[in-house]
Structure 1
């Protein structure tokens, strides 16, 4: 099979920029990158296309010319300080209407496969102890972001049925790696600075996915025949409690985590008092996924262990502070 062109959306983001580099390193792909503006940061060797905002009106013609597969990683993500009067409408405008507009134009352009980076939030916000979420579970999104991702998935499979373009949906759990931001970045800083944390007695279970593992699954799904029109969850295949994760981060950073064993019940009570139940759920709740389907259908197993993934993220953080 000769060289093929791949269009990556969200190409300047945490996942998208690393994906562009990974595709280039494979040596068999010509990479097209969809950019919001002409001044956006670019990856050397990638062919840039300025398409503007993701919406139902975006014109994708030039970016799709000659493209074999689309990897759609662009999205409106969780907004901490929401200003929209109706946040669900805003999520739908970008994540549903924008995605389906791209997919319809991709199908018309003869694109063979459309890989959609969705979210574990389509499955829900938590799992019961010992009952990991699977790709075949009935979806149960609870927030506008999760709802919009689920509606986009539904629209894509309907389009696949109508046009013959193959669709692959990947729902990652929390992704970490070099350059990670938000809550995971904050946790690494807490441990690096030696802050005492009241998180030494948390017995939950969380699935995480190293950036390298997510990228490996995405690249696998570009050509794997059995990936067509399937949904996959993705993780490192190693579930840990928050306490175990912080200790592992400490080992990776070379600075043991200072953890105080405060009971989870007390932390939940404090979260209710300070109206931070959402934070308590993210820190104290369980969210496990089962990736057996990936192994059985694709023969895919995570190439990077949790320890290796944390080590790479930690080295990047330490390098940034030297």
Structure 2
């Protein structure tokens, strides 16, 4: 019986990396990880700006680079912009270069749909071949990382797989999605009854499943993949599904979208309005066909998993 494949996950203690680490370990892979601090023997502390990744690359067949500086605000501060570039562009390039030199077979890079842009026009979707058009610092850093990785690994024996997810939600989610869950839990009456936009999301379980499919794929794989739940939702449907997952009847009323957009713009919240009322759709046909893959968890199931975890966590004594 052959030895299990050896994998390296960067950002192995993060929202995505931790779930991926557990699933791959349970799938019989030999998994090591890096994070800001050590966790046991399998996850070691290596900062993203390290110049030497060699201690964790020996014998590794596949690298999955999840680590990044996320939730990056717009800034004209040169020092901050340089730090974003150091962590999100130069770090993966250094890791890829050293992985190539160590004979790593496949380098999987977790990018973002933000490398392509922030929105799509109605009845249109981003595809894996869509042109770059990032609109913020984070999206620009992911675009630049993709470009330097393609250049670094071009013509080498190390395959490059790029995965571009939209907003990821799941157990332990934070940020804007956590805030939406809070509103749904309180069942606050909201004016989203007339919102008919379409946005692609991806459940943590589905994203991890797609990454594992890329790890296991037996044929050479130099591809860029978009990923989603394959079920685009409106803000109205999202809130209704979240509220019902909490066992409550949604209280949505209809306010003209143009009026909400106008009010948000006046209040300096245009970006939030764009996410709540605009479209962002991904076409994952290429992903499903190439990998013979389907999202294993439905949107409704994933929302319930997310809500159940939040309810369980909030009922723990430490959180009371």
Fold-level similarity (TM above 0.5): yes
Give the aligned partner of residue 256 of structure 2: 263
Task: Give the equivalent residue in structure 2 for 1:16.
Answer: 17
Moved over 6 A (4+): none
Whether the 8 Å contact between 2:75 and 2:81 is mirrored in structure 1 is no
For residue 138 of structure 1, report the CA deviation from its aligned partner. 1.0
Query: What is the correspondence of 1:93-104 to structure 2 with a 5 Å cutoff?
Result: 93-104=86-97
Match of 1:7 in 2: 8
In 2, Cα distance between equivalents of 1:161 and 1:83:
33
**In structure 2, distance between residues paired with 1:201 and 1:86:** 43
Aligned to 1:61: 54
Aligned to 1:30: 30
- Kindly state the Cα deviation for residue 226 of structure 1 after the two structures are TM-superposed: 4.9
Counterpart position of 1:50: 45
Structure 1 residue runs without a partner (length 5+): none
Contact 2:6 2:59 survives alignment (8 Å): yes
Which shows bigger deviation, 196-205 or 237-246? 196-205
Give a deviation string over 1:190-218, Cα, whole Å, max 9, x none: 01112122222111001111111000000
> CA separation in 1, counterparts of 2:195 and 2:170?
23
- Aligned equivalent of 1:75: 68
Q: Hey, what does 2:137 align to over in structure 1?
A: 144
Q: Distance in 2 between matches of 1:100 and 1:83?
A: 24
How much does 1:81 deviate? Answer: 8.2
Look up the SS of the partner of 2:61 in the other structure. Answer: strand
Cα deviation, residue 250, structure 1: 1.3
Deviation at 1:132, TM superposition (A): 1.0
How far off its partner does 1:275 sit?
0.9
Deviation readout 1:119-145 (Å, 9 max, x if unpaired): 000111001111111111111111111
Aligned length: 314
Provide the secondary structure at the position in 2 that maps to 1:163.
coil
Asked if 2 retains the 8 angstrom alpha-carbon contact of 1:172 and 1:233, the reply is yes
Offset of residue 109 of structure 1: 1.1
Equivalent of residue 297 in structure 2, options 276, 301, 304: 304
Q: Which residue of 1 aligns with 2:110?
A: 117
Larger mean Cα displacement after TM superposition, 162-171 or 232-241: 162-171
RMSD: 1.6
* Equivalent in 308, 312, 315 of residue 315 of structure 1: 308
Q: TM-score normalised to the size of structure 1? A: 0.93
Matched residue SS, 2:233: coil
Please list every run of 5 or more consecutive structure 2 residues that lacks an aligned counterpart in the other structure.
316-320
In structure 2, distance between residues paired with 1:225 and 1:19: 19
Separation in structure 1 between the aligned mates of residue 303 and residue 257 of structure 2, nearest angstrom: 25
Partner Cα separation in structure 1 for residue 261 and residue 83 of structure 2: 31
| Secondary structure, aligned partner of 1:67 | coil
Q: Verify the 8 A CA contact 2:7 2:31 in the aligned structure 1.
A: yes
Q: How many angstroms apart in 2 are the aligned matches of 1:108 and 1:314?
A: 44
